[in-house]
Structure 1
Amino acid sequence: MRGSGQIVNRRRMIAGAGAAVLGTLLPGGAGAGRATDNALLPKLTDGRHWRIGYAETMPYGNYAGTLASIVKGLDALSWLNGAARMPYDAGQTDSQALWRWLSAHDLGPRIRFVADGWYGGLDQAPAEPILQRLESGGDIDLMIVMGTIAGRKLAVDRHSVPTLVFSTTNAVAAGIVAAAEQSGRDHVWAHVDPQRYYRQLRIFHETFGFRRLGIAYENSPAGRAIASIADIEAMAGQLGYELVARHVQAPAGPDDQERYYADLAAAWSDLAQRVDAMYITFGRWSLDRFPALVRVFQERGIPTFSQLGPEEVAQGALMSVARGDFDGIGQFGASVIARLANGERLADMRQIYFDTPTIAWNLAVASRMGYRPAMSALLAADNIYTSLRAVP
């Protein structure tokens, strides 16, 4: 069992039944499997090693999980060794502790994780010190970047250090890459899943058949990109629901956070009176504040879907789409690094990858709303939560 109130991961127990149910809602097949191409095996013969740095938007389980799985993928491809000893626990959000271990251990002659090359908090911290370091071209050969905000700040033309961006909402809409298929720049690459939010909204609409969907986001080019508003608007046209939007200015810094929480609470309270479903887009709240914020929808019986993922379902959203593990994206990311190190151009590399997701439910939220999910939906779920945090 992992985490308070969560039923143990059910993938191994009901994989067959879950896949059958999800088959009616999700496109079949993942975008890539385990690579066995000889082009991915090390070809370096001159003793060179790749010095890797890392940056992330904020602490988040997807970031740490993706990083750990990339390391495992590189181990499987013989680019490093010892990944099995890595101190990573499923669900952990602390990538810095993982980085400290990686940089302190000898994992072979080909790859080094730069000890002072970890950067966090780019949702509010300036990127200038990192950009100056990359411009100098001195001690980092490759940057692994996690999140839309960090990607927008670092995947720029001020430097030429190869930059791989993962875990964005929409890398194309955010301007990180020029297109889904290829990045358009020699030093930038980003993982892209063009159908991710289409799948989310289709599942949500198939489940509840809502007519008025609420969303709240910052109405700026960056805010619209982070929330993938273009995809949400496109699906409104396809599925025939009305979007009811409220705009909330993102916090300018730590001193502006409480203003943001007050504005967000007001926006959500207003939407709870006007919509019959709520799509909770990516925001700047901490998870410990989320239960109090989302309670307004529970009390009015409004179903909520978290764009972010199961972390918010554990804290009070009704449902989301879960990723069973990070093995697939880790293998995909490791293959990109291997091809780059063997001399291929990032601009020519495939960026699209998706693995078949499953649904996360919070049954305590459903009970509070007076809603009973269908047994078929529960069979398709990989993460089920059964408790709610007490809210003062």
Structure 2
Amino acid sequence: MLTYEDSPQEADFRAALRAWLAGHTPAGPRPLGGPERAAFDTAWHRALFRDGWMGLSWPADYGGRGLPPVYEAVLADEVGAAGAPPVPHSAFLGRALLHHGTAEQRRRFLPGLLSGEEIWCQGFSEPDAGSDLAALSTRAEPAGTGYVVTGRKIWTSDAAWADRCLLVARTDPGAARHRGLSALVVDMGEPGVTVRPIRQANGDEEFNEVLLDGVRVPAGRVVGRPGDGWRVAMTTVAYERGPADIGFSSRYARAIRRLAGQAAHADRPPAVRRAVARAFVHTEMLRLHVLRSLSARSDGAPPGPESSVDKLLSTRTEQLLYQVAMDALGTAPLLGDEGPALFDYLYSRAASIAGGTSQIQRSIVAERLLHLPRAR
């Protein structure tokens, strides 16, 4: 768990949250995937919002509570300690509207996104433009009072049951790669939108291919100015990459506690116990780094390129943690005898790709934090 000295207000908040979780954590395991998990997560999202636990650092005008960012970390921390389902992470998409949207867009979209009444997905990656987002080819061409969008997105999480998509498309083919992009809010029920689920190695169908064939988008759905798409996208992924914002730290802490209990058995070989200890060190390192990141953000500034450090650390921790879990459990996960262990391991392999590959994160750290020269 995150550890710091709570202020009296934070201590009261933590106690109230802990009491609420004791009476509201869903019984039974979270479904491993598909529409069942989507329905489960939506119900949990709405329960958290209903009782005031979503959007803690969002402005009150849009359904939040206007609290400092540390309260978001306390929420993720206590949810993890209680063994409750993860805090819904889709709210990071709302940060794009909070920072760049018009007043009308915020009033229209943010309450539904935060409450879970409207499910959102993120239309960034394409078959030939994954981590190199500026290479995307989806076009949004001016037409009447709006745009017509044509293209193809892939690895779009939750698209099969999403109501809206924050999509980045090219609106000015003649501009430089990073300057010709715009961010648009697309209704997933519009004519011309086709969603094709992608079945993953773990059996889940969280990711999807999204085809856009002449999809009409009103001009009022452009987030920021036309040509601001790169800036909007970078704001979005900065929040997406932070373990404090999406609750990774608490999830890893829960997993390592479970592993430590299993490794303590007398029949576990010393190599397994050493591997669990190594995973614990990585989990602890991430916890301390999250505290440092939260401290740096205590003045209300949004995350910047330093979130790439967060992403690299959480990727390494996740993959090591679930690899150690597989090693510690032997053949049981392969036989289906250890619940989500195999599912989590297979899913963790994508951690070094999702939200921007580890190679891209290292380049950001080198260029924007360490100011190293580009290779020629």
State the TM-score, normalized to the length of structure 1: 0.27
Q: Which has the larger helix fraction?
A: 2
Structure number with greater CO (CA < 8 Å, separation at least 6) is 1
